[in-house]
Amino acid sequence: MKMKKILNIGCGDKPIKGAINLDWIKQKGVDVVHNIEKTPWPFKKNEFDEVYAYNILEHVDNFMPIMEEIHRILKPNGLLIVSGPYYMHKDTFTDPTHRRGFTTKSFQYFEKECNLNFYTKARFRVEKISLFENDKSLYKFVPFKKYLGYLLWNLIQGIEFKLRAIK
């Protein structure tokens, strides 16, 4: 059985075993040193089965070119997993390096059916969206928290997307 080829972008001090770990600072566990804001990246077209972007895309200035580069290096039907801060949590903009928070609709602009998809030619299908509440909060005991999270600040801390590259 063939092993999946995985790229972990912005790995920082959390490299993933079995993945190619990329960061712009050389440290333990980093396999490739490259600033993701500079495209193209040092990878071939259709090279990866999966790309992980854990808590990195909220920091970038050039969001659309980076998404296009991820699309370029993913194989057809490749998986992109993105996690980041939910836009209605105080920590989203507490960090001065954050440029954005994410909503459940943040990646709809990459879907074929979206009437605002003209910003890019990169196409992804949103397969799954997961919301994560603040672990230190009493909100985890509140019923209907998924729905209340759309209305109340600080209930949901993070969000994760599973996206498929459409080529």
Three-state SS at 110:
helix
Number of folded domains that form the chain: 1
Cβ partners under 8 Å of residue 110, min gap 6:
67, 117, 120, 122, 123, 124, 163
- What single string gives the DSSP state of each residue in 68-101? HHHHHHEEEEEEEEEEEEBTTSGGGTTSTT----
Share of the chain above pLDDT 70, in %: 87
Mean pLDDT computed over 99-124:
93
Per-residue model confidence as pLDDT tens digits over 3-31:
899 999 999 999 999 999 999 999 999 99
Distance of alpha carbon 75 from its chain centroid, rounded? 17
* pLDDT of 59 over the 60 cut: yes
* In a domain? residue 37: yes
* pLDDT of 95 over the 80 cut: yes
* In a domain? residue 1: no
Host domain of residue 154? 6-166
Interatomic CA distance for residues 81 and 64, integer angstroms: 16
CATH code of residue 24: 3.40.50.150
Mean pLDDT computed over 35-43:
97
* pLDDT of 58 over the 80 cut: yes
* pLDDT of 105 over the 60 cut: yes
Inter-residue contact 89 to 100 (CB < 8 Å):
no
State the pLDDT at residue 84.
97
Inter-residue contact 162 to 127 (CB < 8 Å):
yes
Mean model confidence pLDDT for the chain: 90
Mean pLDDT computed over 113-140:
83
State the pLDDT at residue 11.
95
85: its two tokens: 């801060």
pTM of the model: 0.89
State the pLDDT at residue 91.
86
Cβ partners under 8 Å of residue 127, min gap 6:
162, 163, 164
* In a domain? residue 30: yes
Strand order across the beta sheet in which 156-166 lies: 32-33, 20-23, 6-9, 48-54, 74-85, 156-166, 123-133
